[in-house]
Structure 1
Amino acid sequence: MRFFDLVLALLPSVASMTIRANKFTPEILLSAPRRSAGNPNSNGSKVLYSTSTYSFEEHAKASEIRMLDVKSGETSLITNAEGASEPQWLDDETVLLLSEAKEGTSVKIGPAKDFENSYDAGTIKGSVGNVKLVSVDDGVYGIAVTGKATPSGDLYNENEAKKPHSTGRVYDSLFVRHWDHYVTENRNAIFLATLKKDGSKFCLSELKNTLKGSQLESPIEPFGGTDHFDISRHGLVFTAKDPELDPATHTKTNIYTITAKNFWDGLSKDLPEIFKVPIHGFEGASTSPVWDEDGEAIAFLSMRTDGYEADKNQVFIIPDYASPGWVVHLWGTEDGKGSWDRSPSSITWGYNQKIYFTAEEAGRVSLWASSSNFNETTRTPHLIVKGGAISSTRLLKDGSLFLSSASLIENSLYSILPASAFLETSSVETYYSLPLDDGESEDDVANRITKYVSSNTRSGSTFGLSRKQIDEIWFEGAGNGSYVHAWVFKPSTFKKGHKYPLAYLIHGGPQGAWEDAWSTRWNPAVFAEQGYVVIAPNPTGSTGYGQDFTDAIRGQWGGLPYEDLVKGFEYIKENLSYVDTERSVALGASYGGYMMNWIQGHELGRQFKALVTHDGVFSMTAQMASEELYFPFHDLKGKLWENPEGWSQWDPSRFAGNWATPHLIIHSEKDYRLTMNEGLSAFNVLQVRGVPSQFLTFPDENHWVLKPENSLLWHEVVLDWINEYAGLEKYTEWRARTQGAASSE
């Protein structure tokens, strides 16, 4: 019995889905309710969450903040006010959330059962988010939010900002633009305030910019959020780029603390000095700083190598906030690699010297546990919950863990790992004294004791999907003795003895992985329901298979991973009789898009009927236009002028004379990581060579296509393109035919 295999037929679904899918289509994918990670109260009896849906009929998005009653399984509306966000528990019955206001952002507080009777605790003159709360004293809370700060340190307010007469911008350093926007003088900052009871209501104090005058920025763009800082009754811990290094060519970030015994009492005065935590020998990115439940100790993650964003995260603990220079490296080794060969992505403190991590493991984001007692650092973390993709872990007051997760067939699952599941051992062993069923392993038993709270899609059945559609394969790779893992996703109509065309999906990164996780951008189920067997391999460079496997892609972009994909295709051809490799298509985005362009110029490209490149690299030298230059500098073993042969060796444009397979190119104008010229160049080559080709672009999208209407068009164009060459009915023709038949009835 696997982690996501249960059909929750007896549990009410939080989502009020209006249809049960007969065929999982892009419209269903994009219009289905999207539910946030759950935010439980202290005993886990009630869960706050936000949900959003998109209507293609009304061309509008609707959002709600709701509360789930765990015992009954019923949900109630907190608010559907436009601009309401980030619900937090102030106590077990009281909710705090942010709401857009004319002046900026309103902090609203009210009873969970009757939030219509909420009140404004205060208004913040600017746009803020990433709320965190901590109880400081009876009737007193500390609150942290983040927002843009002006050079003077004030919260930026777009409505009050002076409009320039010219649109010109002058830069004298790197980072002219980042991800999808041009960099301005305003920087992210962490603002603190207190909430104090005045009679029966809380009042918000004036916000204080903790980073004013420091040259530091946190959270770090473009993806940093609440994982980049944390607060306790003793102060603030955060991560920020090293201000002495150029952020475009370095990944080094530092951990900083601002602490005091009576920290929040002194918030109206000058804050304590910012302290930079020393992490000797670790010059890469440091992330995920978190206080323990007592507000005394801090844990965080750090990488050794500057300029390498996919280096292994290792775990550090500051045992006493009052001595932040005392840092303990858990599971450290003399060679610096660490004895735990996994790269954790988040940390959650437990009780009784327990500490939990999420980390990738063979295509899953699983939960691990260990002792936080730094005197027991020889015992590496132990796997306690396996797969699909755990996104959030919350500690309840009884020591249980509330988990938010997803899988390839489920877009939101809430569950609880009871504290009673753990044996009280210093090594936090979790092989339970429960009988094994036939064929079960200890991992299966660990998953069996997890209490399921709420499935947004009834384990995929709302979408017409089931776990039976998913398999896994391992095949021998290009590296000596290495094996490559791949997910196999079959159509829901799969029948033994039938053959289905292959959709070969190549992931981005390249230091990334296809996981047992939900996606609204590259969802294997959408392709499988068109009639494909989808195979998504994790070749050399992928994460979750040991750091050596990840590191092996350096200087090998078109080498070992390409050989892995060739061997994977041969394995499919020889071993999966239900796959028709004569009707194969291949698709990829980012590095996967690079690989499509590389495949197009090499022998494997002739094995496919059609290819799809989304925001991929055409010319290696064009990566000098990227914002985060440390990425190509690391992966290609040096700067362009230091290693021109290394840059040229894996350049897809060198093999443009071989391009012959029909090819769809997609590239958006606001993609500043890989500029749009890359897509245009590839399309121009195809057109000049007379290769059947199309070009799809969006002027308002970045490296990803996020707007629902744009995403629907993306799916229509992609599915029509590959279906035509794979011998399947075009998606738009199928939709018109079935809708026409339905309307005639």
Structure 2
Amino acid sequence: MRKLMLVLSIVLLPLSQVFADDNQYLTQELIWKIERIGAPVIAPQGGHIVAPVTRYNMDTDQAETRLWLFNADGSVQRPLTADGQRASNAVFNSDGTQLAFISQRGSDSAGQIYVLPMDGPGEANRITDVPTGVSGLKWVGERFYFISNIWPGLEWDEQKERLQQQRDTHVSAHKWTRLPYSSFDRYLDEERQAHVFSVAQDGGDITRITERFERELPRSSQGTGSYDISPNGEWIAFMSDSAPVGSENAINDIFLARIDGSNARNITEANDGSDSNPMFSPDGRTLAFTQQRIVGFYADTANIVLHNLSNHQQDVITEAWDRSASGLVWTPDSRGFYGSIDDAGTVRVYHVNAANGNVRAVTAETNVGGLSIANDGTLVATNESFLYPARLVRINPENGDMQRLDTINDALLADVELGTYESVTYTGHDGQEIQMWVHYPPGFDSSKEYPLFLLIHGGPHSAITDGFHYRWNAQTFASWGYVTAWHNFHGSSGFGQDFVDAINPDWITAPYADTIAAAQWFKDKDYIDNERLFAGGASYGGYLSTILLGREHPFNALLIHAPVYNMYSQMSADFAVHAERFGHYWDNDIYQQISPHYFAENFNTPALLSHGLTDLRVPVGQSFELFRTLQARGVESELIYFPDENHWILKPNNSVYWYNQVQQWVERWTPPGPR
């Protein structure tokens, strides 16, 4: 115990002193030294692989993303783009001899398309000079396709002039006449629209595509998944909001048009739910997309729909599968898909047969994502777990075996002592089985008693899966001397439609019961000290933690980040909880039944609150209201306010500060280590 307490006492010291002990743990400082590998892209011929690698500078709080080159046999690993120049969205040409990417260099005022030769030495050549910048890059045939957020109807020199006017003005006001007006951490400019454009691979005049159809891409966010181009360059399929003007909520549909045409046809008009992720098959005969049917429910099961381009018939092929299709790539023969599927606490690779919808699990343990496939069937991806950050791997599509292709972070993490973890199940609300991840601290001794740190995930319609988490790392919390756990309570994704929808519109009953049952499961274990129990969460997890404030629970204290505290004032967010599906608060008394502020008379548990000013998903006023309530009731409480953070604490130094403050708070109320 003495040695463990010594380690815990030095984690708040400067990084140079953190590893003074023989043991090294996954500290909050070390997390920010990890280089983060993003989704790879493999050349059509299967040789070269390019992936973004991001590293952070603690002195400047800045991130730098460079493109790295790898080979499918693991023989190459080196930076491809220059140090100090951000690069993203890499795409190969059809024969793999050139690589295009988006970067902002030199005098660029926004990100532009650059092309780098892959068959010999050479410098990157800039292709575009789009004043409003480019994103969502694709390379089809001899043309580039991209997205830019423009003022419709203006020429490029007029766009540039309008941007300069914005920079020069002393007026900071925003004005809106309709929704949406914001998205997570940014306000939307109602006068600008996101559209698809194209340009020849050697540069030249830019062709407007979706602007001609008088259809913009979804206002809140856009990317490569918002549109696709057929292999022969004849067709475009794209997402667009088809809701009537003045409608409160978006209805995203798939529109199909000829590239050189003047009209776009809504091919999903009959579906009131969300349609997204259009993807043309390699043979150009079929358009695939995903479809949800419940209006206002973002976690509704996403099915794969196939649209035949010759006769325009549509078939839903995964209706019998109780999982959401995501992370899809077509197989080279156009006969199926590989996807990264949220499946019962793990993101696994599945194969989906396009003819009959039959599914086959390819991988089993640990998370796999960012799939990319070559013409010869070589499948690459990222693989991560609770114990290691994302790695670049090649996957055998027959048996799921993975060959690692990188060694990034190996030296950094070589001497880090980690705990262990396991997946367990327990009986939760209504007698149903609940899956939970349990993390044990380094050197765990089951003959002794440890404190519990129960984490409550956000969403609520997401899940904690077997991957590396930077913002709320269970292994880091465990290294402080705690058994740490994540439970996938009712409402969590990846456990079927009935399970994920079980908490709507009643956000309290089932998740609260699941949380209390999780605590009881631990209290029944000999290795848990029942007098040292702590819990906390963020976003919906902050909401449920605030519900605990007003109800019976066994926890000494709570951690509450970005909570939904007042369901009425949550109307000021970038979306209104439940409104689209179940009606507004003047239509439905469910808000009074589930809003935490109605239970404030029972608040008596010490709580640490944290929130970012630029959070528009859960506006910061929610924490201000909660903090004032706790203080007015004389409850021990603290509020950490970040004026430069959004829904998440993303800056390195702010993150380390947050972890340190959390550690001090949890140790104050729930002393660490075995006894």
In percent, how many aligned pairs have the same letter?
24
Give the superposition deviation at 1:357: 2.5
2:440 counterpart of 1:451: no
2:550 counterpart of 1:601: yes
Q: Distance in 2 between matches of 1:538 and 1:72?
A: 36
Match of 1:63 in 2: 65
Give the superposition deviation at 1:251: 4.5
Give the superposition deviation at 1:170: 3.3
- Does the Cα contact within 8 Å between 1:412 and 1:456 map onto a contact in 2? no
Match of 1:28 in 2: 30
2:217 counterpart of 1:218: yes
Match of 1:86 in 2: 89
Give the superposition deviation at 1:491: 1.3
Q: Distance in 1 between matches of 2:633 and 2:422?
A: 39
2:327 counterpart of 1:327: no
2:663 counterpart of 1:716: no
1:323-362 aligned at under 5 Å gives the runs 323=311, 325-331=312-318, 338-352=319-333, 353-362=335-344
2:598 counterpart of 1:649: no
2:197 counterpart of 1:194: no
Residue identity opposite 1:475 in structure 2: Y
1:261-660 aligned at under 5 Å gives the runs 263=259, 271-278=261-268, 280=270, 282-320=271-309, 322-323=310-311, 325-331=312-318, 338-352=319-333, 353-373=335-355, 376-377=356-357, 380-418=358-396, 421=398, 446-447=399-400, 449-454=401-406, 456-458=408-410, 461-462=413-414, 464=416, 469-479=420-430, 481-574=431-524, 576-604=525-553, 607-629=554-576, 631-633=577-579, 637-644=582-589, 646-660=590-604
- Does the Cα contact within 8 Å between 1:667 and 1:697 map onto a contact in 2? yes
Give the superposition deviation at 1:250: 2.7
Give the superposition deviation at 1:58: 5.5
Give the superposition deviation at 1:159: 4.7
Match of 2:180 in 1: 175
**Deviates further, 164-173 or 551-560:** 164-173
Match of 1:14 in 2: none
Q: Distance in 2 between matches of 1:369 and 1:189?
A: 32
Give the superposition deviation at 1:364: 1.0
Give the superposition deviation at 1:154: 5.1
Q: Distance in 2 between matches of 1:275 and 1:55?
A: 48
SS at match of 1:250: coil
Give the superposition deviation at 1:702: 1.4
Residue identity opposite 2:101 in structure 1: L
Give the superposition deviation at 1:656: 1.2
Residue identity opposite 2:331 in structure 1: G
SS at match of 1:300: strand
- Does the Cα contact within 8 Å between 2:70 and 2:405 map onto a contact in 1? no
- Does the Cα contact within 8 Å between 1:189 and 1:219 map onto a contact in 2? no
- Does the Cα contact within 8 Å between 2:241 and 2:253 map onto a contact in 1? yes
- Does the Cα contact within 8 Å between 2:132 and 2:150 map onto a contact in 1? no
C-alpha distance 103-307 of structure 1, shift in aligned 2 (>3 A): same
Q: TM-score, normalised by structure 1?
A: 0.81
1:684 to 628, 648, 654: 628
Give the superposition deviation at 1:539: 0.7
Q: TM-score, normalised by structure 2?
A: 0.89
**Deviates further, 119-128 or 143-152:** 119-128
Paired residues in the alignment total: 641
1:134-283 aligned at under 5 Å gives the runs 134=140, 136=141, 141-152=142-153, 156-157=159-160, 159-162=163-166, 163-184=168-189, 185-195=191-201, 203-212=202-211, 214-218=213-217, 220-222=219-221, 224-232=222-230, 233=232, 234-244=234-244, 249-259=248-258, 263=259, 271-278=261-268, 280=270, 282-283=271-272
Q: Distance in 2 between matches of 1:228 and 1:671?
A: 24
SS at match of 1:680: helix
Q: Distance in 2 between matches of 1:462 and 1:114?
A: 35
Give the superposition deviation at 1:709: 1.9
**Deviates further, 170-179 or 654-663:** 170-179
Give the superposition deviation at 1:583: 1.0
Give the superposition deviation at 1:168: 3.1
Match of 1:109 in 2: 115
SS at match of 2:90: strand
Structure 1, unaligned runs of 5 or more: 1-18, 196-202, 332-337, 422-445, 730-745
Structure 2, unaligned runs of 5 or more: 1-18
C-alpha distance 390-287 of structure 1, shift in aligned 2 (>3 A): farther
Residue identity opposite 2:428 in structure 1: G
Q: Distance in 1 between matches of 2:229 and 2:377?
A: 20
Q: Distance in 1 between matches of 2:658 and 2:122?
A: 40
Q: Distance in 2 between matches of 1:239 and 1:83?
A: 28
User: Over residues 82-107 of structure 1, what are the superposed CA-to-partner deviations in whole Å (9 max), with x where a residue is unaligned?
Assistant: 23333322343422222314254443
- Does the Cα contact within 8 Å between 1:24 and 1:463 map onto a contact in 2? no
SS at match of 2:328: strand
C-alpha distance 666-26 of structure 1, shift in aligned 2 (>3 A): same
C-alpha distance 587-215 of structure 1, shift in aligned 2 (>3 A): farther
Give the superposition deviation at 1:113: 6.8
Q: Distance in 2 between matches of 1:169 and 1:61?
A: 29
Give the superposition deviation at 1:388: 2.4
Q: Distance in 2 between matches of 1:216 and 1:533?
A: 52
User: Over residues 22-77 of structure 1, what are the superposed CA-to-partner deviations in whole Å (9 max), with x where a residue is unaligned?
Assistant: 11111111221111111222343322122121232465444322212343544222
C-alpha distance 584-116 of structure 1, shift in aligned 2 (>3 A): farther
CA RMSD of aligned residues (A): 2.5
1:654-673 aligned at under 5 Å gives the runs 654-673=598-617
User: Over residues 316-366 of structure 1, what are the superposed CA-to-partner deviations in whole Å (9 max), with x where a residue is unaligned?
Assistant: 00122x54x4211214xxxxxx31111112321114412222221111111
Give the superposition deviation at 1:649: 0.8
